[in-house]
């Protein structure tokens, strides 16, 4: 009979790609994980790991057993969820991460509802971008994320993570009222002529590797152009402050339009550019706290107008 702890160690190595990263995720030492795997190899009667540079990788037998381990751990997690549901109250911590616009727009109402409906639930919140938050979710540092996925570059999701779309919204180009194109009703991306007209305009955007940055870059490159990105700013409020002074342009989703001053114009794109806000959580770690938060944030999403 295989030990659950040893199977969990193997599944962690398969998910994270190294003993050191698996050890961090399991809150163990690398030597402790190595010992678990050595015992599991003896139980299995097959070598499960082989050297790969300075690290290791799974053998064929290791991959077969890791697949079964993942399924078994999922079933055990489901059993724990079912048992937890027998209780009358949702209690304990729920650790949330989210992109700034979703945190600012959706979380206040969701957290207020949780405080009333589940007073023994203890939420904590950090903001950040999906490329930084997703590894923390996979490593078990966070329980649930609010992340964004932009149409030109759909968000890449690790294995074992469940997604649920909360809202889908239009994205606009924000220009100063002084910009030569500010009086346009729309900007046409299909022919690329309007993008070429914006080629000399400086752009503000979230840092490289984020969904907004890649969406902007890919939108221009689809027409053989490069965006002149001069301001790397994660916060939409700061981006819009620069737009208002006619220093830059930026892409702004609908929920952040309300942050702008009267000196900013928002031009729709044709064809439309869209952004989804999605909840993400580890499938095997779904439980009453996660489901309670999902219910609250979905209610907050329906209660807002997204503009």
Q: Helices 100-117 and 288-303, interaxial angle, to 10°?
A: 110
Give the domain CATH number at 51: 1.10.10.10
Q: Which residues contact 253 (CB under 8 A, 6 or more apart)?
A: 101, 148, 169, 170, 171, 172, 275
What's the chain's length in residues?
307
Percentage of the chain beyond pLDDT 70 is 96
Residues 163 and 287 in one domain: yes
Tokens 């304990």, residue? Answer: 92
Enumerate the β-bridge partners of residue 55.
Answer: 52
Q: Which residues contact 118 (CB under 8 A, 6 or more apart)?
A: 89, 90, 91, 292
User: Is the entire prediction scored with pTM above 0.95?
Assistant: no
pLDDT of residue 84: 67
pLDDT for 202-238, tens place per residue? 999 999 989 899 989 988 888 889 999 999 999 999 9
Residues 156 and 284 in one domain: yes
Give the domain CATH number at 264: 3.40.190.10
The pLDDT of residue 116 is above 90: yes
Which of 24, 50, 84 finishes a domain? Answer: 84
pLDDT of residue 128: 92
Q: Please count the structural domains in the chain.
A: 3
The pLDDT of residue 83 is above 90: no
Which of residues 93 and 82 earns the better pLDDT score?
Answer: 93
Q: What distance in Å separates the CA atoms of residue 247 and residue 231, rounded to the nearest whole number? A: 10
Quick one: 118 exposed, middle or buried, by C-beta within 10 A (0-12, 13-18, 19+)?
buried
Residues 8 and 48 in one domain: yes
pLDDT of residue 86: 56
The pLDDT of residue 26 is above 90: no
SS3 category, 121: strand
First to last CA, the chain: 57
Asked if 229 contacts 216 with a C-beta cutoff of 8 angstroms, the reply is yes
The predicted model gives 90-111 an average pLDDT of 93
The predicted model gives 278-306 an average pLDDT of 87
Q: Which domain holds residue 56?
A: 4-84
Residues 163 and 173 in one domain: no
Give me the chain's average pLDDT, please: 89
Residues 31 and 117 in one domain: no
Closest by CA to 284, choosing from 165, 164, 159, is 159
E-strand ranges in 103-160 read 121-127, 144-150
Closest by CA to 174, choosing from 87, 218, 238, is 238
pLDDT of residue 87: 61
Which of residues 27 and 264 earns the better pLDDT score?
Answer: 264
Q: What distance in Å separates the CA atoms of residue 115 and residue 197, rounded to the nearest whole number? A: 50
pLDDT of residue 88: 56
The pLDDT of residue 101 is above 60: yes
The pLDDT of residue 307 is above 50: no
Which of 57, 84, 111 finishes a domain? Answer: 84
């Amino acid at each position: 009979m295989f030990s659950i702890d040893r199977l969990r160690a193997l599944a962690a190595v398969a998910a994270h790609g190294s003993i050191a990263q698996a050890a961090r995720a399991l809150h163990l030492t690398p030597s402790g994980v190595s010992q678990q795997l050595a015992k599991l190899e003896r139980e299995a009667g097959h070598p499960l790991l082989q050297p790969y540079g300075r690290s290791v990788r799974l053998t064929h037998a290791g991959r077969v057993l890791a697949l079964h381990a993942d399924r078994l751990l999922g079933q055990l997690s489901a059993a724990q969820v079912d048992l937890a549901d027998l209780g009358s109250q949702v209690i304990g911590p729920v650790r949330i991460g989210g992109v700034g616009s979703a945190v600012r727009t959706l979380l206040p109402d969701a957290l207020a509802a949780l405080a009333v409906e589940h007073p023994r639930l203890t939420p904590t919140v950090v903001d950040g971008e999906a490329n930084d938050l997703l590894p923390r979710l996979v490593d078990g540092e966070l329980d649930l994320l609010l992340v964004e996925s932009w149409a030109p570059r759909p968000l890449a999701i690790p294995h074992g993570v469940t997604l649920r779309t909360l809202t889908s919204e239009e994205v606009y180009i924000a220009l100063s009222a002084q910009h030569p194109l500010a009086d346009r009703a729309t900007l046409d991306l299909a022919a690329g002529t309007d993008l070429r007209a914006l080629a000399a305009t400086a752009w503000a955007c979230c840092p490289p590797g984020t969904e907004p940055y890649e969406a902007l870059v890919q939108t221009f490159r689809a027409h053989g152009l490069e965006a002149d990105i001069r301001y790397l700013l994660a916060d939409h409020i700061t981006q819009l402050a620069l737009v208002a002074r006619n220093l830059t342009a930026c892409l702004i989703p609908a929920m952040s339009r309300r942050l702008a001053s009267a000196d900013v114009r928002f031009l729709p794109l044709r064809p439309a550019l869209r952004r989804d806000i999605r909840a993400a959580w580890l499938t095997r770690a779904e439980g009453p706290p996660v489901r309670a938060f999902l219910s609250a944030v979905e209610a907050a999403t329906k209660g807002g107008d997204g503009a």
